[in-house]
Amino acid sequence: MKLFSRLPLLLLICSALAAPVYAQTEPVAAEGSETKTLPLDDLRMFAEVYGRIKSAYVEPVDDSKLLQDAIRGMLAGLDPHSSYLEPEAFESLQVHTSGEFGGLGIEVGLEDGFVRVIAPIDDTPAQRAGIRAGDLIIKLDDTPVQGLSLNEAVDLMRGEIGSEIRLTIVRDGVEKPFEVKLVRDAIKVASVRSRLLEPGYGYLRISQFQLNTGKDLIDELETLEREAPLNGLVLDLRNNPGGVLQAAVEVTDAFIDEGLIVYTEGRLPNSELRFSASEQTAAPELPLVVLINGGSASASEIVAGALQDHRRAILMGTDSFGKGSVQTVLPLGNDRALKLTTARYFTPNGRSIQAQGIHPDLVVEEAKLTALGQDPQIKERDLAGHLENGTAAAQAAGEDPALATSDFQLYQALNLLKALNIVAVPVQP
């Protein structure tokens, strides 16, 4: 699929710590900046090092390899998200943003020489095997990860559909490393899923922001409203590593009908953009609770920050990841591209999320709720000869008793929506 033939400059709020693949570009002077003299001493040093490697390295080294490695090193010193996309990595990015790719279903980054899991993608081998955000991968089959580039590690995780791979995991709170076996699969990611938590209370989960996420969210919202009139909605952005900027704008626009959503600032004029809401809004007044956590990054933070600034939703959970930069994909020809950090993004109130994250209105840590057992107190109904109520017993139809123990944060979000509906107050933190 030649996705980028239609999108020569695709703005991404890319997955947090997304594979630092490495980059190449020509010097560009920002408007208004002074033209500086080339550092001739450094260029001479580069030429000398290049010559020494060519003449003295233990084995002959191809010129192309040295130059490609120099490009990688040049970009590796900028930030974790700027990267040089060689043909395979470029193709992978195109497929990833379209929502279908092969592999294990893990968003990963490189940290201290090891592969850190940013988030498992919903309904993938990684998620089904219990891989968690924050897990550290130290070995792939029998190959230690330390010393590999992230691209090399990702290549090892890829393979034929149906083939097995063993991941050796280090996890906080677990004393020893442990192995997890996964079976590679074709990853088809539905970016938006929905269900009714109870009659009148809907749930929308966005696993990542793809090109069609805005449209898919509206379709799922309409499906929920056909099932039952909605009194409230939970928008789940936990462990959502980001994606396409425009998709984040469209999702936010579904809940607000005016005002700024996000703006970006960079050194180049075309990197300064402003995105505002349109009057056509799917759910401008529906009570809304947004769930975030440390795996919510970039595009997720744009949505959460905009809804928080507009006082349109109550944010619940834990602090988000804190990736406030924008990457632009610049095709270089020959099936290669440059993914370069070109701007920072800001919430409507001018907050930069970079390295800070979004702080929720209500902090609710991930927890496991354990019932204490049956209430020992004697009630009227326990007394011999008590009068009957005389009316039909109320039915809690559709209530999920397991929600409190399976997902405590979602359980608390549902309770908050119920409380807002009972007192009939505006949804403002």
**Catalytic site positions:** 298, 309, 323
Strand ranges in 254-374 using DSSP code E only, listed in sequence order: 260-265, 274-276, 288-292, 314-317, 325-333, 336-346, 362-363
Run of H or E residues at 164: strand 164-170
**Residue 195 CB: number of other CB atoms within 10 A?**
13
Amino acid identity of residue 287, one-letter, is P
List CB contacts of 143: < 8 A, sequence separation 6 or more: 156
- In the 8-state DSSP scheme, what is residue 182? E
Rounded Cα–Cα distance for residues 351 and 170 (Å): 35
Whole-number Cα distances in Å, 237 to 81, 276, 288, 427: 21, 21, 13, 18
Nearest CA to 302 among 225, 209, 175? 209
**How far is residue 406 CA from its own chain's centroid?**
22
Nearest CA to 260 among 247, 273, 271? 273
Q: Which residues pair with 183 in a beta bridge?
A: 164
Instruction: Decide if 327 contacts 11 (C-beta within 8 A).
Output: yes
**Residue 340 CB: number of other CB atoms within 10 A?**
21
Nearest CA to 284 among 248, 315, 263, 259? 259
Nearest CA to 15 among 137, 128, 139, 150? 150
- In the 8-state DSSP scheme, what is residue 66? H
List CB contacts of 108: < 8 A, sequence separation 6 or more: 17, 19, 115, 116, 117, 118, 137, 150, 153, 154
Q: In what order do the strands lie in the sheet with 314-317?
A: 192-198, 201-206, 232-236, 288-292, 314-317, 362-363
Helix (H, G, I), strand (E, B) or coil at 155: helix
Nearest CA to 246 among 57, 6, 2? 6
